[in-house]
Structure 1
Amino acid sequence: MAASADELVVLLQAVAELIRDYDAIEEGNDDVECHIVSLLLARLLRQDRHRVPLYVERVVPAYVDLEFKKMFRLSRNTAAALVEEFERSSFHPQGSRGRTQLSAEKTVLIGLTYLGTQTTMYAIADKFDVSEWSVHGAIRRVLDFLISISERETKWPDGNDIARSKRAFHALFQRQGVEAGLPDVIGPLTAATSASLDRVCNAERVFTHVFIGFPGRVHDARVLEESSLFRDGELKCEGGYLIGDSAYPLMPWLLPPYHKCGASWQPWMETFDAAHCRQRVVIEGAFGLLKTRFQRLMYVDVATIPQTVDIVMAACVLHNIASRSSDDVDDEQPVDHDADVSSKEPESGAVTSVLAKTVRDTVAQAL
């Protein structure tokens, strides 16, 4: 149906705001101009839709805590704290600029719905009684906010935290009721192939390092070489080391398992590998929990690599916030501590230093 004069005024205000917000209009930028034209036509020709009225105002408060967590993947208390911090941030617009402004609560809940499910933008808009354009804007603001606090939430542990991690990892492997894990483990390292995600976690499955590289299947060692951890690992792991699967190179601060081969195989190597596997499986459990909680990661259907990076990082930030709050999900899959979590073979041509071999042998023989 045709737009009224009042609607045209509102439309022009919206276009002006679009130009201010995105600062993307340049002379000759045909893509942006076409996008604005499509928005104008959609607004002029739009039909009223029947959406769910007052979902956030009436339905959400009626949820019991279990229902709330199933819907938004966080407990009510954790979500409330997140809403409060988001509302204080610069990512929540102040003032309506002539339009009805989404509340901080509705904005955050839209973002959580997007990250926690595979629901379409259309369905999210219908559920929250807003336009699809508003859903896009809300998700973008939530992602930007979460990325802005990512350094705080995924920071490398300090001295006290490292000491706690070492004790916790050592206790994961026992023989005859006695703690017999690898000593001085700061955390396990592993990679995911779809977005070249490199990550380290502590014994509580909180990510302490997240690096998201390039798309496609890339060898784990190559992903590591591109991350800051490769440059700073020796300094960060002073007095300890990380453990990784067989795909990683052996370095003084990063110990993969032994390869069982020939006459050089010793019983203490097998003991080392058993403890190594038991402790390394923690990172697999953390990643499994991340994907279980935030199901958008199962299939990230976006147009660009930067969008994928933002979604993965935002999910990791939320995972850490929830983990630190002991906010577990009820549909979490149990971790098989005896599972074989070995990955690829080492990259061909990898050079191993004598010092790295000595460090691993010393640890293994002392078990």
Structure 2
Amino acid sequence: MAAILFTLARERSLRRQRVFRDRTNPLDVFSDRELICRYRFPRRTIVDFIQQVDRRLSRPTNRSHPLPVSSMVLATLRVLSKGDFQSEAADIHGISQPSFSRMFMGVVDALNASLDNIIFPMGQEEILRTKEEFLRVANFPNVVGAIDGTLIPIMGMTGDDEHVFVCRKGFHAINMQGIVTADLRFTNIVCKYGGATHDAYILANSCIPEIMDQLPGGGWLLGDSGYPLRPWLMTPFLTPQAGQQEKYNASHIKTRNCVERAFGVLKSRFRCLHKTGGALAYTPSKCVRIIECCCRLHNRAIEDRIPAPAMGQVPIFSDNDTFNAETIVNANAVNTRNIIVRRF
């Protein structure tokens, strides 16, 4: 009997005791300004995220103390906003690093599913409103969006397809294509191609050409010289003549600048997408879901008129090689651009 009791006591001493961490709820401690600084959103919006994630997140567990959804959402927003290591965000919110790793992508997917706010304008009223907003920027008519690509750094990787992700700047990245409105809201994103992929290739293999061909009332996208001139895609003159062509270029650049600003605000709001916050240390498929989540959260911040972080915009990385448009001339596109030039 003594031997049995000794064995049980020894097993009990070797068994790891459960640790109940202190999970102080930041929603009860911080003001809206402090929450925006740390999590990019005020209390009412974070509570809305918690409710949406709670409805969509599947959390089967036999534990008597499951993770609170509020802690899961706050820790996820912290990583996206600050680019912190998982262990740092987990410690702040009283979560173990393994638990955080298991739940992180689930919260990201739940946010993606609940935030259905990346929609290209297709209704007549919405298209007209978008064109009027762009017209007020620099008097460029009939614009429904500005398009460009930006590089999202990811951790170095190995494998047969590594070269696909090495951008011309020498680091591993995903080349994200974005179309934005004049108020910096994303209406379309494509973020499944590696950093070595050219902007023009991404556009040609997206749904945008078909959408623009069928757009009610017609309209144009504005792109830089990295894109080919198309009847629905206006690019600047590479060597503009003095007068109307220079005025056209000036208006084009000023109007298209909103997409550069949108990328800058996106990356300053969510530092995980910029090199100052490190790089996304996940597989490319997971990185794509994280990038999409940040874009949807960015749109929600625009809708709720939440100010951008105080540090302002950050330098962005883009793949802006000049496309040799002179070798592929589209007569209809050239005529359309010449008609626009005469307005100036």
1:40-66 CA distance string (max 9 Å, x none):
xxxx98687796x2222xx44121211
State the match for 1:192 in structure 2. Answer: 150
Q: Is the 8 A contact 1:212 1:309 kept in 2?
A: yes
Matches within 5 A, 1:172-251: 172-173=137-138, 181-193=139-151, 194-236=173-215, 238-251=217-230
Q: Is the 8 A contact 2:50 2:70 kept in 1?
A: yes
1:89-122 CA distance string (max 9 Å, x none):
2x253x6433422222111111101111121111
Mapped partners of 2:77, 2:18: distance in 1: 26
The offset of 1:359, in angstroms, is 0.7
Cα distance change on mapping 1:334 and 1:133 into 2, 3 Å: closer
What is the DSSP-based 3-state SS (H/G/I as helix, E as strand, rest coil) of the residue aligned with 1:218? Answer: coil
State the match for 1:36 in structure 2. Answer: none
Mapped partners of 2:272, 2:319: distance in 1: 26
State the match for 1:159 in structure 2. Answer: 124
Runs of 4+ in structure 1 deviating by more than 6 angstroms, as ranges, are 44-50
Q: Is the 8 A contact 1:166 1:185 kept in 2?
A: yes
What is the DSSP-based 3-state SS (H/G/I as helix, E as strand, rest coil) of the residue aligned with 2:174? Answer: coil
The offset of 1:167, in angstroms, is 0.8
State the match for 1:85 in structure 2. Answer: 52
The offset of 1:323, in angstroms, is 0.7
1:97 aligns with 2:55: no
Mapped partners of 1:213, 1:238: distance in 2: 30
Q: Is the 8 A contact 1:221 1:347 kept in 2?
A: no
The runs of 5 or more residues in structure 1 that have no matched partner are: 9-43, 174-180
Cα distance change on mapping 1:142 and 1:197 into 2, 3 Å: same
1:285 aligns with 2:264: no
Cα distance change on mapping 1:241 and 1:296 into 2, 3 Å: same
Mapped partners of 1:86, 1:143: distance in 2: 9
Mapped partners of 2:107, 2:74: distance in 1: 9
Matches within 5 A, 1:91-130: 91-93=57-59, 96-130=61-95
Mapped partners of 2:142, 2:42: distance in 1: 34
Find the partner of 1:143 among 85, 104, 108: 108
Cα distance change on mapping 1:349 and 1:363 into 2, 3 Å: closer
1:67 aligns with 2:34: yes
Highest relative contact order (Cα 8 Å, sep 6+), 1 or 2? 2
Mapped partners of 2:58, 2:39: distance in 1: 19
The offset of 1:214, in angstroms, is 1.7
Structure 1 vs Structure 2 CA RMSD: 2.8
State the match for 2:340 in structure 1. Answer: 363
What is the DSSP-based 3-state SS (H/G/I as helix, E as strand, rest coil) of the residue aligned with 1:213? Answer: strand
Task: Report sequence identity in percent.
Answer: 25
The offset of 1:127, in angstroms, is 1.3
1:215-249 CA distance string (max 9 Å, x none):
22322111212222134332237521100001100
1:154-183 CA distance string (max 9 Å, x none):
01113222211111111112xxxxxxx111
Mapped partners of 2:15, 2:205: distance in 1: 49
The offset of 1:348, in angstroms, is 6.8
Q: Is the 8 A contact 2:265 2:313 kept in 1?
A: no
* 2:89 aligned partner, one-letter code: I
1:76 aligns with 2:48: no
